[in-house]
Amino acid sequence: MSKIKIVITGANGQLGRELAEWNTDTAEIIGFGRDELDVTSLPACRNVFAIHKPNVVIHCAAYTAVDKAESEPDEAFRVNAAATRNVAIAAREVGAKLCYISTDYVFDGTGTTPYNEFDRTNPQTVYGKSKLAGEQAVQTLHDRFYIVRTSWVFGKYGNNFVKTMLKMAGERDQLKVVSDQIGSPTYTYDLAAFLLELVHTDYYGIYHASNSGICSWYEFAKAIFELSGTGIQVDPCATADFPRPALRPAYSVMDHIGIRSNEFQMLRPWREALNHYLKDGE
């Protein structure tokens, strides 16, 4: 069986780097960071895709500074919407499938049951609105796409909640962590494995991908310290105690209808994934 060629955008980011460094017998993976591919330039996207002729583009490049986006809406939309349009156009022109990484922030977070792939979107932040605009560009401009929404991402590359908690534990004796935001952590290693399986298929459409199970940030923090053997006192607090420019979804649990109905393997429970990361991933 001949290998498929996959181009990764945003290959220096948390998920992009995980994918770019993945070894697989069925795919040749080429990663491009911001310095090698400026996705905000349509000619640059066309040029890179014309040279490499990928079968698949996994578009991880994104503006992810959620709070900063509130004061930089033009930049957030330039990167998350306009650049996604560029990637979609250039990918379609070379006949490549497109996989776009999206977010739980496309929902308003006021739900009480897990959001499925067909629930109405209603983003409340500039970041969420710009990522939804990226989804719409993909759906409008490409005919063979996967949109994969994920949440609470952690892994060995880049900054994330797990690393922040472990760093803070080394600097202080006690911490307060928000207990009224509920979601599902997602381990980049497990997400990458799912994405690489997905893009080998023709099961196009929208997917929700996060590790199984749910928790609050407070419960996530407690598990991090417990599994890493870190002794620190953690106390719950309310979102209102830590006001931030961008509204955080109170409830961002996602249902995985796409994964189940297309008979993909569910991502393992988040505590198992966290344990794997703490033992092997760092």
Residue spans per domain, the chain:
4-160+185-212+254-269
For 244, other C-beta atoms within 10 Å of its C-beta total: 10
For 198, phi then psi, to 5°, come to: -60, -45
Report the half-sphere exposure of 95 (CA within 13 A, side-chain side): 5
Residue 114 gets the label, from left (phi > 0), alpha (psi -120 to 50) or beta, of beta
Instruction: Report angle CA 249, 177, 148 to the nearest 5 degrees.
Output: 35
Q: Which helix (H) or strand (E) holds 38?
A: none
Q: What is the pLDDT of residues 170-184, one digit of tens each?
A: 899 899 999 999 999
Q: What is the pLDDT of residues 224-262, one digit of tens each?
A: 999 999 989 999 999 999 889 999 999 999 999 999 999
For residue 103, list its beta bridge partners.
Answer: 150
Q: Give mean pLDDT, residues 134-146.
A: 98
Of 137, 156, 5, residue with least CA distance to 81: 137
Say whether pTM exceeds 0.85. Answer: yes
Contact assessment for residue 38 and residue 96, using Cβ atoms and an 8 Å cutoff: no
SS3 8: strand
pLDDT above 60 for 1? no
- DSSP states of 209-238 as a string? ---BS-EEHHHHHHHHHHHHT---EEEEE-
pLDDT above 80 for 282? no
Active site residue 146: no
CA dist list (Å): 135 to 7, 80, 230:
19, 9, 40
Contact assessment for residue 30 and residue 54, using Cβ atoms and an 8 Å cutoff: yes
How confident is the model at residue 123, as a pLDDT? Answer: 98
The topology (CATH level 3) of 4-160+185-212+254-269 is Rossmann fold (3.40.50)
For 187, other C-beta atoms within 10 Å of its C-beta total: 28
Rg, Å, the chain Cα set: 18
Of 161, 135, 144, 162, residue with least CA distance to 228: 162
High-pLDDT (> 90) share of the chain, %: 94
How confident is the model at residue 72, as a pLDDT? Answer: 97
Burial of 201 (0-12, 13-18, 19+ CB in 10 A): exposed
pLDDT above 70 for 281? no
Q: Which of 63, 127, 207, 277 is catalytic?
A: 127
